[in-house]
Amino acid sequence: MRLDSVRLSHYRNYESLELSFSEKTNVLIGENAQGKTNLLEAIYVLALAKSHRTTHDKELIQWDAETARVEGRIHKRRGSHSQEIVISSRGKKARLNHLEQRRLSDYVGALNIVLFAPEDLHIVKGSPQIRRRFLDMEIGQVSPVYLHELSQYLKVLKQRNALLKQLSIKGGDETFLDVLTEQMITLAVKIVQRRHHFIAQLEKWARPIHEGISRGQEKLVLIYRSDTFSNDLLDVEGMTASYTQKFGKMKTNEIRRGVTLFGPHRDDFEMEVNGRNVQTYGSQGQQRTAALSLKLAEIELIHEEVGEYPLLLLDDVLSELDDHRQTHLLDTMQQKVQTILTTTSVDGIAHETIKQAKLFHVKQGAVILEETSYKEIVGEKTDE
């Protein structure tokens, strides 16, 4: 699939912008703080109805404006469609072909993207919360039903926490708590099963990619870590029984503490390289390779699940990667996917990439198409 064009209105530092992209590689060049990441973020928001940088949608609206809008025209094998996200202080609206989608789970997935940014290293070395967010966002892209179940789960969890708090202060009848526990277990089992499946699929692709980047030296393994059951207990009955037993045992404790103490909202996944946890023992280079392998694996996984390659967004990451890792990334993107990348300078980017790319110059929330000045930008490189 590809993004043919976008239109931004009052989005961060863009008052109004309209761009059409090349179906291959697009390079956004500009100095710091000009709006390169803002533009990638807008495309991310268009696809996932959420920013990767903030959970506060209001920050996306241009200062002093009321409403931010991102529209895009998407081309898929089966045809084209338009989609649109509108953010205001009253909330968020998502439209597909001008039709408002009541549930975001009906909207997300119409445009698939993989974003690779410097902060993705945190997926490897950051807190479990970051990895859970990664799982939820990425599974949501390929499985609307997962997003729906997750939002149901979070609703029940919120309700259950409120009730536990109330019981911890005032005591009272526990019948409704048991009803909520049962609902939570049903949803928890579905969520954990889908996460397990996703991790297994991701590992299938990430392992050979990681091996390739590390020149056959490293074997990457991904392991889902539930706080309730071991990894081989994965049929519905077994998981339901484990949760039921644990919630039963912990009930008094949960009421005393006034909060739900376990469940998929506390789970995590681990990455091992050659049998050791890369989060704890990996070098910076190994952690970088693991993060890159996950992202490249996602491209293949999305292709397998939805039948088309996603759009790849690279936020200032080429300069972070050594030549060998860069080559791996560039190989993938040039052959298969439409790519939009940001950079402060073309110096660190391979000549072949720049030569066939559409270049955009970003300056203070405006974009100038730079096709004609390609030689000027690449300068001596062309004469090499």
Ligand X SMILES: Nc1ncnc2c1ncn2[C@@H]1O[C@H](COP(=O)(O)OP(=O)(O)OP(=O)(O)O)[C@@H](O)[C@H]1O
Provide the binding-site residues for ligand X, judged by CB under 6 A.
12-13, 30, 32-38, 59, 61-63, 316, 344
Q: How many CA atoms lie within 13 A of 298 on its CB side?
A: 24
3 state SS of 173: coil
Q: How far is the CB of 61 from ligand X (least distance, A)?
A: 6
Closest to ligand X by CB, 61 or 180? 61
> What are the phi and psi torsion angles at 241 (to 5°)?
-65, -40
Q: How far apart are CA 59 and CA 135, in angstroms?
A: 24
> What are the phi and psi torsion angles at 41 (to 5°)?
-60, -40
Annotated binding site, which residues? Answer: 30-37
Q: How far is the CB of 360 from ligand X (least distance, A)?
A: 12
Closest to ligand X by CB, 33 or 236? 33
Closest to ligand X by CB, 31 or 100? 31
Closest to ligand X by CB, 121 or 221? 121
Residues 6+ apart with CB under 8 A from 310: 1, 112, 113, 114, 141, 298, 299, 302, 303, 337
Contact by Cβ (8 Å): 338, 3: yes
Residues 6+ apart with CB under 8 A from 237: none
Q: How far is the CB of 33 from ligand X (least distance, A)?
A: 4
Q: How far is the CB of 318 from ligand X (least distance, A)?
A: 13
Q: How far apart are CA 122 and CA 295, in angstroms?
A: 13
3 state SS of 384: coil
Q: How far is the CB of 12 from ligand X (least distance, A)?
A: 4
Residues 6+ apart with CB under 8 A from 347: none
**Helix 175-213 / helix 128-142 crossing angle, nearest 10 deg:** 90
> What are the phi and psi torsion angles at 3 (to 5°)?
-95, 115
Closest to ligand X by CB, 13 or 112? 13
Q: How far is the CB of 40 from ligand X (least distance, A)?
A: 8
Q: How far is the CB of 257 from ligand X (least distance, A)?
A: 39
Closest to ligand X by CB, 30 or 282? 30
Structure tokens at 194: 């889908």
Q: How far apart are CA 268 and CA 286, in angstroms?
A: 20
Closest to ligand X by CB, 334 or 344? 344
Q: How far is the CB of 321 from ligand X (least distance, A)?
A: 16
Closest to ligand X by CB, 63 or 98? 63
> What are the phi and psi torsion angles at 210 (to 5°)?
-60, -40
Contact by Cβ (8 Å): 258, 164: yes
Annotated binding site for ATP, which residues? Answer: 30-37
Alpha-carbon distances, residue 247 vs 61, 188, 252 (angstroms): 43, 12, 9
